[in-house]
Amino acid sequence: MGRRCTKSGCRESAVKTLTYIYSDSTAVLGPLSTYAEPHAFDLCASHSDRLTVPQGWTVIAHTTEALSNEPSPEDLMAIAEAVREVAQQEISPAPQQPEVGRRGHLRVLPRHE
């Protein structure tokens, strides 16, 4: 059996994870996370369906339809266009600075004045 709902007294299996973003007054209800996180709440189907948040807060609920495995044609075109743009850009290597000394992962570079 997987993780249980984090609501007090509930013994059902968790199916969704709830995360609060306090700075944005937002609650995000998405698919069950891959592992239990200390600042997230795993909820069963019943509790996730009855979720309420404080007045003025926004709920972002990811549905299974929005999480399909197949990309849309628009997604594929956007990816192809981004790849074309990157391929057309001239990539110039960063100028190499001579090292004065090295100690472990630290290195000393010459001073430019």
pLDDT at 13: 94
Identify whether 99 is part of a domain: no
Domain with 4, as residue range(s), is 1-88
Identify whether 14 is part of a domain: yes
At 57, the pLDDT band (50, 70, 90 cuts) reads very high
CB-based contacts of 59, cutoff 8 Å, min separation 6: 26, 27, 28, 29, 51, 53
pLDDT at 11: 94
Least confident piece of the model among 15-19, 47-51, 59-63? 59-63
Residue 44 to residue 41: CA distance in whole angstroms:
10
Identify whether 59 is part of a domain: yes
Identify whether 103 is part of a domain: no
pTM: 0.55
Count of structural domains within the chain: 1
pLDDT at 106: 67
| pLDDT value at 14 more than 70 | yes
Identify whether 29 is part of a domain: yes
Identify whether 112 is part of a domain: no
List the alpha helices (DSSP H) in the chain.
45-49, 73-88
| pLDDT value at 93 more than 70 | no
Mean pLDDT value across the chain: 80
| pLDDT value at 74 more than 70 | yes
